Amino acid sequence: MASPVARGELEIGFQAVSEILSIEGADLVGTIPEEIQQISTFMTVIPERVENETGARRLIDFLASPAAAGIIESTGLRPVPQSRRLSEASESDRRVHVITSGGFTAAFDILGPIYSEAARVEITTEYGSSMGGGPQSIPVRLDRGETFDVVILNRPPLDGFAEDGRVRPDTRVNLGRSLIGMAVRAGAPQPDISTREALIATLLAAESIGYSASVSGTRLSTEVFPSLGIWEEIEPKTLRIVGERVAAVVARGEVEIGFQQISAILPVAGADYVGTIPDELQEIAFFSTGIMEQATNLEEAERLVEFLSSAAAAPVIESTGLTPVIESWSP
């Protein structure tokens, strides 16, 4: 009815609000009085003959979820809350157990709840470093026999887990690129590290230097700092930080400057991000994800990995200091 109005063939027209709003060239004036309304309900059903009943039920679950309500309302319809899920999956089938390293924690702390609400999946999240011998590091926890559905960490150790049979090789996917940056305590002077010479001067002048026990710190202590020709001078005042973010130690004033991936610095209150080390000293690190060979919920793990590697997750990943890598992985 709104189309003839838009063409000028009728002066006014009456139709469902959702159909009027979709017509360019016609304006919604309002609704007729409630006492003469007849409420229409749009419903969805699954036919008796269906190719993928499980997928159909999950689509309906999403369409009836709070995540879809805002979109439905924007089209002129009033969402109808649902008291139950249509999916017949048991509660244990709707859970995913994830462990993520610090560099991707800020992103996952946002993306996890978004996915959990949209997919109606319960996500249990634990945290650990990508490397190192600390009791909470991901390698040590896996060696202890702890099990997870999805693991998120730096690419080299992930590849190692795939080689030794703990991660399904065909589920590995890069999520974001990360650079090494420097942090100082909030409000402290921010020394220059933009060039090789400036970085050397800053390292020599600092009273104490912190670096991660994970991938970035290993590279700094074994390659970058020695390549500057000052390792013997600065090593006595360095601190290899195990089990927590370097920026947290900087924020407490226990070290003057600290180095770690940008994404692990930005979320820490009480620490200021200064900048990245020079490009020629960088080695771009990838935070990647994979599904464990012993995953108890393979299907839900695959759906989560597919979401994390999609364009929908990219803005959140970028906001946490990582450069998104959209590889469009699907099971």
Dump pLDDT digits (tens) for 208-261: 999 998 888 989 999 999 999 999 999 999 999 988 899 999 999 999 999 999
Residue 47 lies in a domain: no
My answer on whether 8 and 35 are in the same domain is yes
My answer on whether 171 and 316 are in the same domain is yes
Residue 56 lies in a domain: no
My answer on whether 274 and 185 are in the same domain is yes
Which position has the token pair 């924690």?
105
Q: Alpha-carbon dihedral of residues 284, 285, 291, 292, nearest 10 degrees?
A: 140
My answer on whether 222 and 291 are in the same domain is no
Residue 137 lies in a domain: yes
DSSP state of 222: I
pLDDT at 72: 81
Q: Please tell me the total count of domains within the chain.
A: 3
CA distances 318 to 9, 67, 111, 271, 315, Å, are: 50, 22, 12, 20, 5
d(CA 198, CA 69): 53
d(CA 207, CA 191): 13
My answer on whether 297 and 216 are in the same domain is no
My answer on whether 166 and 311 are in the same domain is yes
The CATH number for 203's domain is 3.40.190.10
**Mapping DSSP to helix (H, G, I), strand (E, B) and coil, where does residue 210 land?**
strand
* Sheet of 257-261, strands arranged across: 238-241, 209-212, 257-261, 180-185, 271-276
Backbone CA torsion sign across 86, 90, 93, 98: positive
pLDDT at 91: 52
Residue 81 lies in a domain: no
Residue 51 lies in a domain: no
My answer on whether 184 and 244 are in the same domain is yes
Binned average pLDDT, 10 residues per bin, the chain of 331 residues? 84 86 87 77 75 75 71 77 50 82 93 90 93 88 95 95 96 94 98 97 98 89 96 97 93 98 92 96 91 94 93 92 79 69
DSSP state of 80: -
My answer on whether 274 and 188 are in the same domain is yes
Residue 87 lies in a domain: no
pLDDT at 83: 44
Q: Alpha-carbon dihedral of residues 315, 320, 323, 327, nearest 10 degrees?
A: -60
My answer on whether 174 and 290 are in the same domain is yes
Domain residue limits at 98: 93-178+286-324
Residue 245 lies in a domain: yes
My answer on whether 300 and 222 are in the same domain is no
My answer on whether 156 and 293 are in the same domain is yes
Which run of H or of E encompasses 111? helix 102-119
Residue 242 lies in a domain: yes
To the nearest 10 degrees (0 to 180), the angle between helices 102-119 and 53-63 is: 90
My answer on whether 252 and 271 are in the same domain is yes
| Beta-carbon count within 10 A of 29 CB | 10
What are the tens digits of pLDDT across the range 260-282? 999 889 999 999 999 999 999 99
* Contact of 216 with 225, CB cutoff 8 Å: no
DSSP strands (E only) in the chain: 95-100, 122-127, 150-154, 173-178, 180-185, 209-212, 238-241, 257-261, 271-276, 285-291, 323-324
